Amino acid sequence: MNKNYELLCQEAVMHGPLESLFCCIGDPVIGNPTQLMMEATFRSMLFPARYLTCTVTSANVEHAIDGIKALGFSGANVTAPHKVAVIPFLDGLTESARLSGAVNCIIKQEGKYIGDNTDGKGFLTSIELIRPVAGMHVLVIGAGGAARAIITELALHGASSIAIANRTVEKAQDIIDRVGPHVKTTFTKEAFTGTYTIGAQYDLVVQATSVGLFDPGTGFDLVWEPKEEGSRIAADVVFNPVHTQFLASAEKAGATIVDGLGMLVFQGAIAVTHWTGKEANCESMRTALEEAFTI
């Protein structure tokens, strides 16, 4: 290298190393709050990084993953509807991603781009702050992507039984077929019509449908069989509004409630630790989200 050029580099405005790059891909992705919480934690960790939110159409998923690799991104998040579609273009999968069949987080490891699923792990963290899930009897309402990730992680961590109630009962069966052979958990499934009596046998009840999202007045017609105050945990995946109609009815029935912000923050925090090797600042992430949500 020419000596003059070396000197010029040393005096250049942009000193190295370059900031790490991350992104979230989805469609639609406008309104996705991930960038806000990631930027908040990167700032508070003094970690030099940029986080972008990118609309990627289904036709461009392969190109987007190629781009992430070519530009040397340090990691990425994947949101609906691409959590399954990205899989063939990645260099490998973690156990959670393989069993749940969905990727929400891409980790760069020794130059390879590995798909993980931190949704279920984030949910698990939010529950295990209260009580371990091992041995629990669980009811999950819903069988979409979020439910799939949650059920996988609950089963991997020793939930005794999981009942899945979903409008489209075949989707519940798909989850059972995929996860069942790898775990000791007992599974049952049933059709869900929106009117439901929640049995006293459940230690944990998870609302994992999209019903109630951006719509505080909407929910299901639920009856909660009596159970000792605080002995039942009720968790919602919906995070906006934070206090959903489901959580309000659970609280009235004496359940300990867990809102969807817990899962959102912890799945993000797990991703940050994968990417940076450092602990994320969960408090700054939650505050950034609470300030952003207007509903």
Catalytic residues: 83
User: Is the distance from CB of 120 to CB of 100 less than 8 angstroms?
Assistant: yes
Distance CA 193, CA 167 (A): 6
Q: In the window 144-163, what residues touch ligand NDP (CB under 6 A)?
A: 144-147
* C-beta of residue 124 within 8 angstroms of C-beta of residue 258: no
- 229-248 mask for ligand NDP (x: CB under 6 A)? --------xxx---------
- With binding defined as CB under 6 A, does residue 222 bind ligand NDP? no
Contact with ligand NDP (CB under 6 A) among 72, 92, 132, 194 = 194
CB of 156 closer than 8 Å to CB of 181 = no
Residues 153 and 129 sit within 8 Å (Cβ to Cβ): no
Q: Is 260 in the site for ligand NDP (CB under 6 A)?
A: yes
* Residue with smaller CB distance to ligand NDP, 69 or 167: 167
Least Å distance, CB 276 to ligand NDP, is 20
Binding of residue 41 to ligand NDP (CB under 6 A): no
C-alpha torsion sign, points 83, 235, 243, 260: negative
> From start to end of 133-213, where are the E strands?
137-141, 161-166, 186-191, 195-198, 204-207
> Quick one: tokens of 77?
């998040």
Point out which span in 84-92, 180-188, 196-204, 208-216 binds ligand NDP (CB under 6 A).
208-216
Contact criterion met (CB below 8 Å) for 130 and 233: yes
Of 87-95, 107-115, 129-137, 204-212, the segment contacting ligand NDP by CB under 6 A is 204-212
Residue 163's identity, in one-letter code, is A
Q: Is 267 in the site for ligand NDP (CB under 6 A)?
A: yes
Instruction: Decide if residue 166 touches ligand NDP (CB under 6 A).
Output: yes
Burial class (CB in 10 A: 0-12, 13-18, 19+), 45: middle
What's the token pair of residue 272? 């940050």
Measured from the CB atom, is 140 or 156 closer to ligand NDP? 140
**Residue 264 interacts with ligand NDP (CB under 6 A)?**
yes
Task: Give the interface with ligand NDP as residue ranges (CB under 6 A).
Answer: 80, 119, 122, 142-147, 166-168, 171, 194, 209-211, 213, 237-239, 260, 263-264, 267
